[in-house]
Amino acid sequence: KSDTTTEGESPGYISLQQARTLAMRTAAEEPGNYGQGLASAGMVYDIAEQKEGEDYYEITLSFRPEGNFAGTPGREQFSIAKDGGIARRQLLVLPILRRSFPAVPVAIALVAMVAVAAVAAIGIGLTTGFGREDAAVANFSVLTNTPFPIATKPPSSATPIPTANLGATPVSTKIPTPPTS
């Protein structure tokens, strides 16, 4: 009489598929110590690796919190005896949560700020003549298409300024100054 079944297994032993199912069921029903931040979170388990030895199956599960998860999943390994008993269970790596950086909104905001700064710099440059004293007047004459020449320098102190005396006598008025403290 043979010690194997028609599927090639010994009587009383479990298959690799049954060992995978046992590992996933055990992980889901009796979660490991995944840390305080993940203690109340439901987990999703997947088979990461599986090996069959002479007396044991090595089943490594990857796990992560349910829902949207940005990061690296954790890993937990089960050594399951071929008779169906769990010989060893060990947590290899905890999930690593990655803080997602809002790259697209930050990039859009940065481009908008650079554009506003460039427009402001050009606007200031046009109104001030980019640092040249005569540029503002020259820009004005070009923008108005005036056919007459426009003075580009203020009159010097040697230029006489006409005055008119209409017979009015200047009156001085004393303006009180506020007391200083």
Return the top range by mean pLDDT from 18-27, 65-74, 155-164. Answer: 18-27
pLDDT at 175 over 90: no
Number of C-beta neighbours around residue 61 at 10 A? 25
Provide the CA 49 distance to its chain's centre, in angstroms.
Answer: 33
* Residue 96 and residue 71 in contact, taking contact as beta carbons nearer than 8 Å: yes
* pLDDT computed for residue 150 by the predictor: 61
Number of C-beta neighbours around residue 73 at 10 A? 19
- Domains of the chain, start order: 16-97 (3.10.450), 103-144 (no CATH)
* pLDDT computed for residue 180 by the predictor: 77
More confident site: 160 or 42:
42
Q: Is 19 helix (H, G, I), strand (E, B) or coil?
A: helix
pLDDT at 69 over 70: yes
Distance, CA of 96 to CA of 19 (rounded, Å)? 27
- Tell me the residue length of the chain: 181
* pLDDT computed for residue 46 by the predictor: 94
Q: pLDDT tens digit string along 96-155?
A: 877 666 677 888 888 999 988 888 888 777 777 666 665 544 444 455 555 666 666 666
Q: Is 80 helix (H, G, I), strand (E, B) or coil?
A: strand
